[in-house]
Amino acid sequence: MLRLPRFRFVSPPSIEEAIHIRTEHPATSMYVAGGTDVYPKMKRRQFQPEVVIAIGGLVRDDFRGGTLAPLADTLPSVAEEGPLPLGPLPLGLRIGAGATLTEVAEHPKVREGYRALSIAAGLVSTPQLRNMGTIGGNVCLDTRCNWYDQSLFWRTAEGYCMKTHGDVVCRVATSSPRCLAVASADTVPALIALGAQINVVGPNGARTIDLAECYREDGINYLALEPGEIVTEIVLPPSDGWRSTYLKQRDRNSFDFPIAGVAAAVRMDRGVVTDARVAITALGSRPVRVDASALVGTKLDDEAIGAVADATHKAARPMDNTSGTISQRKRAARVFADRALRSLRDD
């Protein structure tokens, strides 16, 4: 039985206090919300923080409170958009980063206007873990690899990898100058396809980031966040005219991480595509937005769909560090893009 290491658990009363504690212990502390990824990795000694800072309850509602009153028929974590502290975005949707994946998947406003996100959140892991895991945690999900996601005993016997020991070569590609661990969050490609931004706050203040710009092509330093920053909410633009979906391949349909995932969103006006976004996950060290411009101006005809499916295949660059072969996962990217776009045409 794997046991948690000894650590100090801190539950600060405010975002500001959480950031202060993190700043005091920059190398030995971690934030935790639902903990569905953090605690198992602590048991495997992939993470070994001395201080764990609980922030889940701090990011359920609007950061600093008061400027956004949730609608009476919504959960505290999901509110219709109004003036934000970081700039107005009328008629969209904001989701507190502490909202659970179950809340996101089942919320009527998400189901109605942001179907890809509802599907993706509902496909994460198991019902029990979706009840605990948060949307903010999934956005910040650690990268994965067959060499990295093992117990300490296994890694001690087989040899460590670059992600935990910087002086060791990448076990997947020994000549690689960087870690090739895979970005495997389900909700991220859906959010990117939906044009999401995130609001973050840290030691240097608050800022807004396009979610697509939040990730690096690096299995170790995969998040483009400053030290100590916390994701406080996800902000989605208006959904009028948009259709979206998400498709995922995994070993076991009951709970596994994706080994290939494709999200697609198109905006239609009188049957013609006026905007389109496609994004992929689990096919590289960061989620990738695919060039879907071939769809614009079409009625989602077969030729345009085929062109974007080919572009998705080209953008997918899997390595041999998770389930499935490289060639099979690249083929899945093309097939899923084709299926996703055809399903949107038929909506």
With a cut of 90, say whether residue 47 has pLDDT above it.
yes
With a cut of 90, say whether residue 6 has pLDDT above it.
yes
Q: Which of 64-68, 85-89, 226-230 has the lowest mean pLDDT?
A: 64-68
pLDDT in tens, 243-277: 999 999 999 988 899 999 999 999 999 999 999 99
> Mean pLDDT across the stretch 97-123?
96
In the chain, the percentage of residues whose pLDDT exceeds 70 is 91
pLDDT of residue 345: 94
For residues 78 and 107, the answer to whether their CB atoms sit within 8 Å is yes
Distance CA 284, CA 216 (A): 10
pLDDT of residue 82: 44
pLDDT of residue 347: 81
pLDDT of residue 67: 30
pLDDT of residue 68: 31
| DSSP codes joined into one string, 151-180 | -HHHHHHH---TTT-TTS--SS-TT-SS--
With a cut of 60, say whether residue 185 has pLDDT above it.
yes
Q: In the beta sheet, which residues pair with residue 272? A: 269
pLDDT of residue 25: 97
- Domains delineated in the chain: 60-183+191-236 (3.30.465.10), 242-346 (3.30.390.50)
pLDDT in tens, 51-84: 999 999 998 753 233 233 332 234 445 555 543 3
For residues 314 and 300, the answer to whether their CB atoms sit within 8 Å is no
Distance CA 194, CA 116 (A): 8
pLDDT of residue 110: 94
> Mean pLDDT across the stretch 120-138?
97
Q: What is the mean pLDDT of the chain?
A: 91
Higher pLDDT, 95 or 69: 95
Going by pLDDT thresholds of 50, 70 and 90, the confidence category of residue 123 is very high
With a cut of 80, say whether residue 195 has pLDDT above it.
yes
In the chain, the percentage of residues whose pLDDT exceeds 90 is 87
User: Which amino acid type is present at position 110?
Assistant: V
Going by pLDDT thresholds of 50, 70 and 90, the confidence category of residue 16 is very high
pLDDT of residue 346: 85
pTM higher than the cut 0.75: yes
Distance CA 114, CA 135 (A): 14
pLDDT of residue 91: 72
pLDDT of residue 103: 94
Reading phi first (left if > 0) and then psi (alpha if -120 to 50, else beta), residue 62 is in beta
